[in-house]
Amino acid sequence: MQNRRNAVMVVVIVAVLVAAGAGLGASSALAADKPKDKLTIGEADVKQLLLLMDADKNGKISKEEYMRFMEAEFDRLDIDKNGELDVKELTQSTFRVSHSGHR
């Protein structure tokens, strides 16, 4: 059971990094003419994730909001709907900004 939890946490971390990385690429392309340091770009991505996850719009992410968001992301990434994410599903994923945070 502990190994499964560890695997799930790794998947969650990878999914967040994939989503943030895709957003980072878009942010960089839009601001190519303006030099920014990596910290500034990272803060913008974190703010974007906050907006996506914060269902009650209180400026904070509760564990419930975080888990709901990550479950929806997992379901979206799990193309073959087998309950597991493989390398192909993770590498072919795209970042979508259309999350409502609600089910």
pLDDT in tens, 38-74: 556 688 888 888 999 999 999 999 999 999 999 999 9
pLDDT, mean of residues 70-96: 89
pLDDT, mean of residues 73-79: 93
Provide the residue range defining the domain that includes 42: 2-91
Residue 80 lies in a domain: yes
28's CB contacts (< 8 A; 6+ apart) are: 41
Number of folded domains that form the chain: 1
Residue 99 lies in a domain: no
Q: What's the CA gap between 15 and 35, in Å, rounded? A: 27
Residue 100 lies in a domain: no
Average pLDDT, the chain: 73
Q: pTM value? A: 0.53
Q: Give Rg (Cα) of the chain.
A: 15
